[in-house]
Structure 1
Amino acid sequence: MPRNGSAPVLTPTGDTASTPGELPAPPRLGLRGPGPRPPCPRSAARPGRIVAAAVAVLVLAITGLAWHDTGNLIAGITRIGNLGLGGGSDGAIDILMVGIDSRTDARGAPLTADERAMLHAGDEDGATNTDTIVLIRVPNDGRSATAISIPRDSYVDIPGVGMGKINSAFGVSKAAAMDKLIGQGVPQAEAERQADQAGRRALIRAVADLTGITVDHYAEVGLLGFVLLTDAVGGVDVCLNNAVWEPMSGADFQAGEQRLDGADALGFVRQRHRLPRGDLDRIVRQQVFMASLVHQVLSARILANPKRLQELGDAVGRTVVLDDNWDALQFLRQLEDLSAGQVKFETIPVRDINGTTLDGESVVRVDPGTVRSYVAATVNTRAADPDSVDPSSVTVDVYNAGGVGGLANQVAQALATKGFRTGTVDNWIAGGIPGSRVLAGNTGDRRARAVAKALGDLPVVADAGLPEGTITVVLTADYSGPGSPAGSLFDLSGAVGTAVPVPPAPPIDAGQNGPKCVN
């Protein structure tokens, strides 16, 4: 079937052609992935083993001390139980690692005034938020580990609460439990402990519901942990594309490569205002920070320095919380069996980074079904839906055969937020089409069926002239799915707005060739 063979062009005059431009799926970020070297070169350093594959700050610290005094380290970590965790029965260990915005340390002791000032934490004792949420899968068969970040403002169903930002699940659930317990006459300290458990359980369930992954282990690091752990390893190397100054987080950095101490590192990972991609750029900051920390912990000068190791142990003891069923020694032995250099950093696909609720709250819109399919494909699990495919493996051509200007581009963006890759975006000039459809070599093509489902169950029509693997969407005036004026106004979560495309993030490594420059 003939089509326009020329490249798509920008059409500001208002015709139906869409603005061109590839909008890739959320990136796969590997510790030693493909791509050009970062613009801030350094001399090559010793590659780190996958023993730090779990990526979580606490696991990195445990790993760094594994050859030194693991027993004493583990004995000093705060342990908690009754979290409703799984048991790794699906052939992998799934760890939920959270960075918690708390004014206390892991043992419940309040931070000092100087510590709060250093953390830009303020004096209020409001709801506890989880500003970093990472789901880490470590397979039992020696395959590489995967760390999947969840934007803190993702608008999800919080168990027992309703729709809200996922980073509020801990805090609002804790507050509700605290009020109930105090009303029942439970002493303050015991009520605080039980309320914390309720908050953690709610967050674990919210993450499991969103991703479709049963959480086996829970790990928590307070704000102070970023500072103490970073200082314990002598600082962390980062690189920025541009100079930044943002007083709310305390971020004040020059452009280029630099080493950050603990307080500056916290500002680096907390900043989200004045960033091109908002919270998604902040996630990339967190990922590149953790990758750089991997490299620092595994460096010979840390492992051979008793003073640094002691500081690392002290930092872990004061700032890390683990579930009480986690056999850390066994876990470390398992990590050492993993293949080297293959850890992947991921971020769940989002529908809109600038969504707004009916009440005017700014949120990140996500589609739970899309997230579950994406996570299942990413971690190589079997999805319940037989048509599930990894969206990032599917490139979709989108053509506008109707009279709605810019429709093809809007639909391509909607597919990109679901994780699909964008191919050609243009007008359809090959003849009349009776209705919107997905074209593929045969109607049983799983990729075509996945695209059709993502667009509101469009029909899949066979086109024998299409090359194998080519998926084409043709849109007519009857289309009302995602990306259309009707489909973009409301979603089931109650958030409103038009989806904003999400530009890709750079690949990240563990610092063997210098830190990756990021926004």
Structure 2
Amino acid sequence: MSTRRVLTGIGKTGLVLVSVAALTATAAGYLTYRQATIGLATDNVITDDKGEPVLPKAPGTDTNILLVGVDSRTDAQGRPLSREVLDALQAGDANGEQNTDTMMLVHVPADPSKKAFAVSLPRDSYVDIAGGFGKHKLNSAYARAKVAKAKELRGQGKDPATVDKESVTAGRKNLINTIAKLTGLTVDHYAEINLYGFSEITKAVGGIPVCLNKPVKDDFSGANFPAGKQTLEGVDALKFVRQRHGLPAGDLDRVRRQQAFLAGLAHQVLSAGTLTDPGKVKDLIDALTRSVVLDQGWDLLGFAQQVQGLSGGKIQFHTIPTLRSNLATPGDGVAVEVDPNKVKGFVQGLLTGDGTPANASGAGTSAGKVRPVANTAQQPIDAAGIPCVN
């Protein structure tokens, strides 16, 4: 069913969306859906060049969703997390940081017979940042625009609440524009989740099955896990997806961890009957309303109809092609080198329907097919399984 597919592809925030979508199948579910959507935080981030909301896409068209995991010490409404929660998450102080540490672009086809795909974008990718900020690490797109907008609004004498609200919106919009430019895909919807919410969501579904190639112990993230299959929830689940120190490929291995985790998430929700358990559904919705931000105007009922018939085996997780992972930059330290043309070619290849990434130049064979680009990432993860990772 569609829930499996979307859960797998939408990842952290997707669990929320898929769960809510699945509830609409019954009258009682519809009431729960209404409660969930009323409580969810939203932001006007899908707009045209003039800042006006973009009209929803017509039914029966493909949908692209930007999923963002924010390393924030606040909840979805901007309220600081308690000291107790911060200590449990090993998250430092509630200083309102907005670091976008997880970014994934999900393509959901209108035709359920086609595969959906999710493309991870490493946070340290060195790219052109929208808004005239120049070339920097991808995860700074949000913060740079937020800081600039806050400075502008303070200069206009705006009150602190307005500064906070409008600067965060500017940050989100700039991240959307940066990723759209990098990938060549228009972002139709935006979903963001914070640290605490992710931890609570994993508890609501009864934990997530994962598998490690080797045991790990990392003082920075607090990750301390044995090799092999295991089920994680709450703070332990957060440690699993946050670790990057001590991994062979650093942040690229962390991206791989996140993808494997989402595959396990889909497996758990579907096999354990989470979405048919009223108690778990209530816990899930409670966690979502405290931690998730969606774009305004997202018709979740319509989205639920679109994903009907999709299954876990019809979505794959990919990572954009990267070059050097130790690129020296003028002012941002070491970054991950990215060729934007290869990224666009890679994404375009996934859109062709056969899942073969295309190269940037568009050069083809005599049959007119585009040659595959060399991708430094590992093989894609299929949502139907629970792969072992570093």
Q: Shorter-chain-normalised TM-score: which range?
A: 0.7 to 0.9
2:346 to 359, 363, 374: 374
Say which structure is richer in helix.
2
CA 1:267/1:391 → structure 2, altered by over 3 Å: closer, same or farther? Answer: same
Render the CA deviation track for 1:245-281: whole Å, top value 9, x for unaligned: 1111111111111111210111111111111111111
- What is the deviation of 1:447? 4.8
Preserved contact between residue 277 and residue 502 of structure 1 (Cα < 8 Å) = no
1:98 to 68, 71, 74: 68
Q: Greater Rg, structure 1 or structure 2?
A: 1
Matched, 1:115 2:85: yes
TM-score normalised by L of structure 2: 0.87
- Paired letter, 1:52: L
Matched, 1:341 2:313: yes
SS in 2 for 1:94: strand
Name 1:135's counterpart in structure 2: 105
Name 1:58's counterpart in structure 2: 13
| Mean Cα deviation higher: 314-323 or 88-97 | 88-97
- Paired letter, 2:46: L
Distance in 2 separating the partners of 1:62 and 1:345? 18
- Paired letter, 2:13: L
Aligned length: 373
- What is the deviation of 1:84? 2.3
Name 2:173's counterpart in structure 1: 201
Distance in 2 separating the partners of 1:193 and 1:128? 13
- State how 1:5-44 maps to structure 2 within 5 Å: none
- State how 1:158-169 maps to structure 2 within 5 Å: 158-159=129-130, 160-169=132-141
SS in 1 for 2:318: strand
Preserved contact between residue 12 and residue 193 of structure 2 (Cα < 8 Å) = yes
- What is the deviation of 1:516? 1.6
Moved runs in structure 1, 4+ residues, more than 6 A?
none
Name 2:124's counterpart in structure 1: 153
Distance in 2 separating the partners of 1:330 and 1:47? 12
Matched, 1:231 2:182: no
Distance in 2 separating the partners of 1:286 and 1:164? 23
Render the CA deviation track for 1:116-144: whole Å, top value 9, x for unaligned: 11222111627521011000111112222
Matched, 1:517 2:388: yes
Distance in 1 separating the partners of 2:3 and 2:158? 49
Distance in 2 separating the partners of 1:441 and 1:145? 26
Preserved contact between residue 348 and residue 357 of structure 2 (Cα < 8 Å) = no
- What is the deviation of 1:325? 1.4
CA 1:323/1:286 → structure 2, altered by over 3 Å: closer, same or farther? Answer: same
- Unaligned runs of 5+ residues in structure 2 are 24-28, 49-53
- What is the deviation of 1:207? 0.2
Distance in 1 separating the partners of 2:291 and 2:377? 34
SS in 2 for 1:96: strand
Name 1:474's counterpart in structure 2: none
Name 1:319's counterpart in structure 2: 291
Distance in 1 separating the partners of 2:2 and 2:356? 31
Name 2:215's counterpart in structure 1: 243
- Paired letter, 2:81: L
Preserved contact between residue 373 and residue 390 of structure 1 (Cα < 8 Å) = no
Render the CA deviation track for 1:4-37: whole Å, top value 9, x for unaligned: xxxxxxxxxxxxxxxxxxxxxxxxxxxxxxxxxx
Q: How well do the aligned residues superpose, as a CA RMSD in angstroms?
A: 3.0
SS in 2 for 1:316: helix
- Unaligned runs of 5+ residues in structure 1 are 1-45, 382-388, 395-417, 420-437, 455-500
CA 1:323/1:126 → structure 2, altered by over 3 Å: closer, same or farther? Answer: closer
Distance in 1 separating the partners of 2:10 and 2:294? 15
